[in-house]
Every structure is written in structure tokens, then in C-alpha cells.
Amino acid sequence: MISNTTVDVPGTSQTNGLGAEVARPTHKAPALTVRSLPAYSQSLLRISVPAMVVLAQKRQSLGRIVEFGPGAIIQFEKSCDEMLELHVGGKPIAMGEAVKVGDKFGLRITSMVLPGERFEKVVPRDRNTAS
């Protein structure tokens, strides 16, 4: 039986059980903090953007909206138990649940929304106009 023995030396590479070399990190990456960012990046973090919690959405005809007045009730399809969306700059970034903070309303974030994939249509080039 052939045995593959390795010596664990910090900061060096070693081999796996199949004899392939595996790189080992020589140090841990420093934690990312606001102060470790370049000054131009830190200045971007001071920009104010609109943040809003979306309770529900519904499309209504203008004729129906014109009829709204004090006391009107608008019914939505969303259940009271469903999560609310946090939009920043008009884009959804998180989901959460409504909470009471003193006598104010708050949002406890339960999950982050991953950005959607962006697909672009691939248009074949015309062979006659290829440059």
C-alpha cells in the first residue's frame, strides 16, 4: 500500500491525497470596513437615496382613482402575513416584516434580494457588412 504523507507548514502549499498541489493561504484577508475603503468610495457612502417599504401594489384605472375620497378602502391581493419589500433607489433590495419601534413603524429585514440577471439579445452580424 502506498501512503501519501504531507507536512503541514504554515504559509506553504501542500498536496492533497491524490498528489495534486493545493495552495494554502499565507494569511487571512483583513475584514472590510468603511475606513479601509479609498476616500472616493467613502464619499459615495454619504449619498442620500430614497428608501421605501412597499406594503402592496395594484394597478387601477384612472376612472377608479378619480373616485377615491376620504374613507375609501382599497383592497389588495397581498395577505397581511406576507413579507414587505424594501426598495432603495426604486429597486427591491430586501424583504422583511413590519415591527413596532416605540410608537413608530419599522422593518425587520429577514432576507436580501439578489439582483436579477440581465440578459441582452445577441444579434448576429450581417456577413456582408463585416469589417
pLDDT at 7 over 70: no
What pLDDT, on the 0 to 100 scale, is given for residue 119? 64
Which three three-digit cell numbers place residue 77? 391581493
What confidence tier does 126 reach under pLDDT thresholds 50, 70, 90?
A: confident
- CA 2/CA 6 separation, integer angstroms: 13
Cell of 26: 499565507
90 — alpha (psi -120 to 50), left (phi > 0) or beta?
A: left
Domain spans of the chain?
49-115
Grid cell in block for residue 101: 419601534
Instruction: Name the CATH architecture for the domain at 49-115.
Output: Roll (2.30)
Distances 110 to 107, 118, 122 between C-alpha atoms, Å: 9, 25, 37
Q: In this prediction, what percent of the chain has a pLDDT beyond 70? A: 70
Contact 6, 14 (CB under 8 A): yes
- pLDDT number for residue 131: 54
What's the pLDDT at 5? Answer: 37
Torsion angle in degrees (nearest 10) through CA of 52, 58, 59, 63: -100
* Segment 21-77, tens digit of pLDDT: 545 555 566 677 888 888 888 888 888 999 999 999 899 999 999 999 999 999 999
DSSP state of 66: H
Cα separation, 86 vs 99, whole angstroms: 14
Question: Is 106 in contact with 118 (CB distance < 8 Å)?
Answer: no
Once rounded to an integer, what is the mean pLDDT over residues 76-92?
90
- 16-25, 67-76, 103-112: lowest mean pLDDT where? 16-25
Q: What is the pLDDT of residue 8?
A: 42
CA–CA separation, 97 and 100 (whole Å):
10
